[in-house]
Amino acid sequence: MTGEPSRLVPASARLQGLAPVVSPRTVVLVLGSFPGVASLRAQQYYGHPQNQFWRILQALWPQHPLPPPDQYALRCAWLLERRLGVWDVYANCERQGSLDSAIRQAQVNDFYHLLQACPSLAAIAHNGAESYKHAPAVLRSLQEADGTAPVRRLESVKLPSTSPANAAWSFERKWAAWGALMAAHGLL
């Protein structure tokens, strides 16, 4: 014993994710795992200033200026104009901090009903490894209600995470991988 008073660690509170940003024109849906603390606090996807998500997208479409972070509704409209959508694999979970490795008791979002709202959807772009490990479950949930046949064939791609925790990939490598997917679906 160290002589220090014992500290009780509070149980993790159940965290609720954000609503999807999609439209009937969405061709590529970017799926993260679950918003970090900064994003939940701001109620904005990729709200941490060091996350490279918005910076990568701006670099892909430099001719279309991205609205500043304090104009989030305009950023979402900008995203939808590019025929992109954004959501997360998890609807809710328990987690302390922002790391994917700390996610516990996660509930997967309802992708079947999302597909009904996105008739143009052609690809699921998983933003990092945690999201991608659920790719088979996401694709299964996009099947007919009776589970017998896929509604349509969708590409499922693992992209390098835009998180500041993914320092192994340079910005240029991330940009190239994201750009290849967007070009493959006619978005560039």
**Contact status, residue 127 vs residue 144, Cβ threshold 8 Å:** no
Backbone φ, ψ for residue 167 (5° rounding): -85, -10
Pairing between strand 14-16 and 90-94? antiparallel
Which candidate, 33, 27, 15, places its Cα nearest to that of 162? 33
Look-up of token digits 């991205």:
66
Catalytic residue among 51, 109, 127, 166: 51
Contact indicator for 131, 33 with CB cutoff of 8 Å? yes
Q: Pick from 31, 35, 41: which is nearest to 18 by CA?
A: 35
Written as six digits, the tokens of 45 are: 């996807």
Q: Is 51 a catalytic residue?
A: yes
Q: So which residues are the catalytic ones?
A: 51
